[in-house]
């Protein structure tokens, strides 16, 4: 028999299904709507910027948008590609995360359940030459809950830090700002020459692949540490 402080397993299952599970489905629905809006924004940004570029500009510099399915889209910006992806699952935060200090979450722990949309920066040549070992870099993560409250981890996204979570509902203008910031960061985040010790050895397979399609592994910070506070030549 359970004690007075315990909930019988069947009741606990019922509570989880009518509580937590419902919240997660609500978050997922919000995420799908938001990601579809992001796709529209990326397509519009691509068209607007291309229309503003001089007609004499080399066509390889122009932006290209590609819808990669229900949960992924990409935008090519000259030598860079931003891959934007929505995770199909809903997440909870660890006990040490600052989200738990916010009154909005303390009032209702269900407000902490969030979906994630990630923004990765790759070199466009990594896809062009099928360099599967090339490295991409996470430049932003958007966290969104059932109320469409949000915050952003990422490069130069100070306006949308976690301490503001619960204060504002995600608007189209916010998504435009987040995407433009990621695009700007990618274009200013230059490819560095890797340290000698990082590339001083190569396998026969790598050299043969290089002869065919320049397939030696490449990344903007290959051989260098890349962390949350890593910035390009200009300040965040």
Are the CB atoms for 116 and 198 separated by under 8 Å?
A: no
**Between the ranges 80-89, 117-126, 135-144, where is the mean pLDDT highest?**
80-89
Whether residue 222 is predicted with pLDDT greater than 80 in this model: the reply is: no
Average pLDDT over residues 143-161: 91
- For residue 210, being part of any structural domain is answered with no
Q: What is the pLDDT of residue 32?
A: 97
Q: List pLDDT tens digits, range 27-66.
A: 999 999 999 999 999 999 999 999 998 887 777 788 999 9
Average pLDDT over residues 231-236: 40
What Å distances lie between residue 160 and 49, 55, 146, CA to CA? 24, 36, 17
Are the CB atoms for 196 and 90 separated by under 8 Å?
A: no
The parent domain of residue 115 ranges over: 9-190
- For residue 91, being part of any structural domain is answered with yes
Q: List pLDDT tens digits, range 186-217.
A: 888 766 666 666 666 666 666 666 655 555 56
- Rounded Cα–Cα distance for residues 198 and 225 (Å): 12
Q: What is the pLDDT of residue 99?
A: 97
- For residue 2, being part of any structural domain is answered with no
What is the number of domains present in the chain?
1
- For residue 87, being part of any structural domain is answered with yes
What average pLDDT is seen over the chain?
Answer: 84
- For residue 99, being part of any structural domain is answered with yes
Q: What is the pLDDT of residue 233?
A: 39
Burial of residue 55, with CB atoms counted within 10 A of its CB: 0-12 exposed, 13-18 middle, 19 or more buried: exposed
- For residue 183, being part of any structural domain is answered with yes
- For residue 212, being part of any structural domain is answered with no
- For residue 35, being part of any structural domain is answered with yes
Average pLDDT over residues 93-115: 96
């Amino acid at each position: 028999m359970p004690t007075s402080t315990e909930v019988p397993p069947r009741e606990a299952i019922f509570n989880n299904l009518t509580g937590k599970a419902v919240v997660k489905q609500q978050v997922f629905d919000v995420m799908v709507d938001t990601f579809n809006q992001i796709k529209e924004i990326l397509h519009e940004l691509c068209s607007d910027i291309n229309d503003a570029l001089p007609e004499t500009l080399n066509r390889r510099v122009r932006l290209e948008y590609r819808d990669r399915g229900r949960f992924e889209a990409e935008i090519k910006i000259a030598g860079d590609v931003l891959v934007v992806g929505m995770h199909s699952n809903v997440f909870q935060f660890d006990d040490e995360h600052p989200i738990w200090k916010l009154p909005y979450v303390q009032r209702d722990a269900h407000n902490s359940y969030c979906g994630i949309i990630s923004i990765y920066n790759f070199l466009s040549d990594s896809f062009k030459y099928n360099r599967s070992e090339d490295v991409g870099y996470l430049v932003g993560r958007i966290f969104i809950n059932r109320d469409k409250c949000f915050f952003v981890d990422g490069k130069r996204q100070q306006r949308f830090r976690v301490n503001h979570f619960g204060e504002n509902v995600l608007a189209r203008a916010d998504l435009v700002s987040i995407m433009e910031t990621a695009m700007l960061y990618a274009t200013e985040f230059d490819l560095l020459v890797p340290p000698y010790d990082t590339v001083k050895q190569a396998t026969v397979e790598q050299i043969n692949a290089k002869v065919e399609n320049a397939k030696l592994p490449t990344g903007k910070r290959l051989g260098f540490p890349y962390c949350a506070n890593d910035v390009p030549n200009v300040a965040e």
